[in-house]
Structure 1
C-alpha cells in the first residue's frame, strides 16, 4: 500500500495534535482504542451520510493513532486533488469495473507491512440505501482479519472504535450482530441510514 500522511514522520504528529484540538473545540469526543493485538483489520465506517464524514474520520483516526486507508469513488481522485486524496489514505474505486475489488483489497491487506486499517463504508455511498453492501465482510474473511466497528455519532458528537468482530463465515448471523451495534448511532443525515436494512 502507498505511503500516506499517517506514516509520514513528523507530519503525522502535527496533524494528530491539530485534529485533537479541532475536535475538542467543535465539541466532539473520541472513544475507544484499537486493541494492541489488532494490527491489520477492516474497519466499518458507519453511518456514512455526509461529505463531512471523511474529515471527521481522518481526525478521529489521527487521535487514535491509526494507519488507515479508505475507499472512495474514483471521481474524487481526479486532478487537482487526486494526489492529496491518496496521501490522505484514499484508494480510488471504480464501482462499475471493480469485479475483483474484494480479492484485491484482501490481498493488499495480507501483503501490507505492519499495521493497516482498511476503512469500508457498508452503504457504499452517502445516499440512502436499502441494503448494506457486504464487501467489507468478505474482504475481512478472505484476508483473515477482524472487523472493527467504528462510528461517527452526530447526535452525541462522538466518534471512535467499538468492538472487534471476528467473522465466522455465517454472514446472515454475523450481520445481525454487526448491525445491532449501529442501531442507536445517528449520522449527520440520520434519515439516510438504517442499520436494520
Structure 2
C-alpha cells in the first residue's frame, strides 16, 4: 500500500494502536491540531490503517465540478438550511448511514485555544457513538490511537479524560497546544 510506504518508510512515522474493526460508527478527535501538516499526515495514517474515516463539509462543497473529490476523500455534505444546529445536522448524517466514522478537531482551529469546542461531544452523545482519540505526536513521529471512549453524563470528567490522553503529546507547533 503506497500510503503506508510513504508514511512509514519515507516520512519515518509509526502507527500506535488500531481502529476498532467491529465498530461501524464513531467520532475520531484529532489533536493537537497545530499545523497544515496534520491533514496530509492524518490522510496517510488513515489510509495506512485501511479504515474509511469521513469528514463533514458544507453542502455547496459537494457540487460540481469538484464535489466528487470531497466525496472520494470521505466527505459528507451537511445541509444547514434545514437546521440552525450543526450538531443535530451531523447526528442526522450518522443516523442516515450504516457505517460512518467522523474525524474532527476538538480545538476547531490550528491556533492556540484555552478550551476545546464541545460539538464533537454532543454529536457523540446524540448519535450514541464512542469517541476515539487520535494524537499527532510530532516529537516521536507517531500517530497514537486510544481505545473507544463512550461519553458519560459527566462532561467535566469526560473532558479531563480527553485532556489526560493528550497531555504529553507535542504537535508540529507545540506552543499552540
Regarding TM over 0.5, the answer is yes
Q: CA deviation at 1:169?
A: 2.1
Question: Does the 8 Å contact 1:69/1:91 carry over to 2?
Answer: yes
SS state at 1:54 partner? helix
TM-score (norm 1): 0.78
2:103 matched to 1:119? yes
Aligned residues: 175
Q: Is the 1:60–1:160 contact (alpha carbons within 8 Å) kept by the matching residues of 2?
A: no
Where does 1:32-181 land on structure 2 (aligned, <5 Å)?
Answer: 32-71=17-56, 83-91=68-76, 99-114=84-99, 116-181=100-165
Q: 1:93 Cα shift?
A: 7.3
From the superposition, tell whether residues 91 and 52 of structure 1 become closer, same or farther in structure 2 (CA, over 3 Å): farther
**Aligned equivalents of 1:126, 1:86: Cα separation in 2:** 24
Aligned to 2:89, what secondary structure does the other structure show? helix
Structure 2 match to 1:19:
3
Deviation track 1:31-64 (CA, whole Å, cap 9, x = no partner) reads 1112233220011111111111111111111111
Gaps of 5+ in 2: none
Gap regions ≥5 residues in structure 1: 1-16
Contact in 2 for aligned 1:70/1:90 (Cα 8 Å): yes
| 8 Å contact from structure 2 (residues 78, 93) kept in 1 | no
Structure-2 separation of matches of 1:189 and 1:151:
13
Distance across 2 between alignment mates of 1:78 and 1:185: 38
